[in-house]
Chains A and B, each alone.
Chain A
Amino acid sequence: MKQTETKDHAGLAEDFIKDEERVNWHDGALWYIREKRDIASKQIPEWEALREAASQIKNNVISNLHDYLLQFEANLTKNGVKVHWANNADEHNAIVYSILKAKGITEMVKSKSMLTEECHLNEYLEERGIGVINSDLGEYIQQLDNEPPSHIVLPCIHKRKEEIGELFHEHLGTEKGLSDPTLLTRVARKHLRNVFLTRRGALTGVNFAVAETGEYVVCTNEGNADMGAHLSEVQIASMGLEKIIPQKKHLSVFLRLLARSATGQPITIYSSHYKKPREGQEMHLILVDAGRTRQLGRTDFRNSLKCIKCGGCMNTCPVYRKSGGLSYHNTISGPIGAILAPNLDMKKHADLPYASTLCGSCSNVCPVKINIHEQLYKWRQVIVKEGYAANTKALGMKAMAWTLASPEKFSTAGKAGRWFLHNIPFVVNNKFNPWYKQREMPEGPKESFAEWYAKNEK
């Protein structure tokens, strides 16, 4: 992996914002997705009630997790799935390795799983002679470039198509200068189809795990999880403990919220319910703690475990949009990453809760109603108290500065009002955002990214 860990968020963001054209594109593309989420959510009159229900279901999960885990485990076993438990990344990786080794498997295909990214599973297996290919297109591209994903839903959103064309030229032998997204996707389709057909082992992540039935649901748009799983002899699923939901019918609430919050789609193309191995196949599921029980014990931060990884908080965050996911130097970036990471390593991630203007936009879009910006504020207090706050005050000011920098960029695209809306998306009247206190926010006229892009590209 490329090293991004020597600088803090502010330093890495400074690097990212040097390329002004890229930053403007990145910022606009994510804002466009945020607008699609708004349109999708407004088509559901009961949207707010669904968010409330999802939040309450998840509250029930984290407060009864012990019993749900036992119920889930019992049902998995009944269904013929082998259950494993892992305290940390090393234990998780060792389990995957031993499953593959027992079958003499030396090549594995993997669909999107932030957990295995966090565990550095690929590196672990490669050191032991097992090759892994990430099959989600965005993750595949990131793997070719030896970089971690920069967004949990859109792993290579920070890359331009010409750069991807260059990677394909270098690694897959495509013609130099090829940058058409459809043509590039076709090349990857062909290449990865061969991978799916030849891999005996497949690993997927898990979106929802149903305690009541022992089945787990994996959501993708590309169909890559299914291509890998249904052609494999050994299917492995890795999940964090918090992915449990109590009952089958609760899937209706979560699946209605997930894709609409993520990309504005009514549902992901594939929502696959895996329950039993097919004839002649082995199925394994690994339950991973890796800091989750510790977060569960932190009263102020435990409800970060409600996250369903929709990426909505990233798309709306003015700091994320302008600094890029890699500047967070953590697998999960953006606002949710900034409240999960300090739990894993407070010293290393002390800068992340400061990568925010505390505008509250993240909390407003979160489908499970996590009080993200309040937790960011609370982490700052903890970090100061624990003595990790060397220059964090300056960091907070920097986040504000990028967000508010050079409004003239947008004055070409419309009135100042739109600039405000875009940069301070919600401006909740909250006590956390010092900037808000003295100011009334104007309502901004809306302009879609497509319109903005059309105007500015010319």
Chain B
Amino acid sequence: MTTREQILEAVLKNQPESMPLPDIGMFKGGDDDTVRKYIDIFKTIGGAAYLVDDLEVVKSMVAEQFDTTKRIATTLPEMQDIAELIAPAIDPHLYEDVELAIIRGHFSVAENGAVWLTEEVMGQRIIPYICQHLAVVLTAESIVPTLHEAYERIGLGDYGFGGFIGGPSKTADIEQALVLGAHGPLTMTVYIIR
């Protein structure tokens, strides 16, 4: 008998009588101001979020908030004059020195500040993790109240990789002192287009 067969047989023998799945359809968020709530929560987890009119405003804010003499990478064609476009098929190690990445987010979640991203908007999977600073652009109407609405939107999803990112990377492993910028970005900024 293979290991696989041994394990499956032991599971079948030892598992108890089937218990039903609960209905989780009643879980949903309230109808409070999701944009306001999102911005407030995102600040408490160490991020910065701004409500803006359009991508032109984003561009000028980026110029003010970041060092544009360093390498900036993006998947947004509109940002091409201040950033290089990310090439999906090259060696990911080549993005080692990206200072700022500007990418589109599919949507974000008001209750926890997290933005949903798939590799399609990342350009390369490594981008939102390897950059020193991460900026995400999304629309106000895309913000959902809770993770329940979030997974409804994601559905089964036909991505190879996707992730929620909710703020700058952090650690409190040394004496519970909060430090922003563990291995991933030191800061995360979300621009919400009205």
Q: Which A residues contact B (CB, under 8 angstroms)?
A: 29, 32-33, 46, 49-50, 52-53, 56-57, 59-60, 62-66, 69-70, 79, 85-87, 91, 135-138, 141, 154-157, 160-161, 164, 181-182, 184-186, 189, 192-193, 196-197, 212-213, 221-224, 226-227, 230-231, 241, 246-253, 255-256, 263, 265-279, 287, 289, 293-294, 296-297, 299, 302
Contacts and interface: CB of A to CB of B under 8 A. Distances in A.
Across the A-B interface, the 10 shortest Cβ-Cβ residue pairs: A223-B184, A297-B14, A222-B182, A266-B112, A276-B160, A138-B173, A293-B10, A181-B177, A230-B126, A267-B112
B170 interface: yes
Q: Chain B: interface secondary structure?
A: loop
A250 B169 CA distance: 25
Interface string B1-43: 0111011101111111111111010110000000000000100
Contact of B22 (A33, A53, A185, A255): A53
B27 A66 contact: no
B147 interface: yes
Contacts of A269: 45, 165-170, 184
B106 interface: no
B184 A222 contact: yes
A231 B176 contact: no
Contacts of A60: 18-22
Contact of B164 (A212, A213, A271): A271
A215 to B, nearest CB: 8
B125 A230 contact: yes
B8 A69 contact: yes
Contacts of A182: 177, 179
A164 to B, nearest CB: 6
A269 B166 CA distance: 5
B168 A157 contact: no
A268 B177 CA distance: 16
Interface of B: 2-4, 6-8, 10-22, 24, 26-27, 41, 45, 89, 92-93, 96, 109, 111-114, 119, 124-126, 129-130, 146-148, 150-152, 154-157, 159-177, 179, 181-185
Given A156-B173, A275-B160, A293-B11, A251 B147 contact: yes
B163 A270 contact: yes
Contacts, number: 247
Nearest to B47: A269
Contacts of A86: 3
B181 A302 contact: no
Contacts of A256: 111-112, 146-147
Contacts of B111: 256, 266
Nearest to A299: B16
9 contacts: A185-B179, A189-B183, A212-B156, A223-B183, A223-B185, A227-B129, A250-B24, A270-B184, A272-B161
A277 B20 CA distance: 33
Contacts of A56: 19-22
A53 B170 CA distance: 30
Contacts of A193: 183
Nearest to B5: A85
Contacts of B163: 226, 270-273
B170 to A, nearest CB: 5
A196 B173 contact: no
Given A212-B156, A265-B45, A65 B165 contact: no
B183 A224 contact: yes
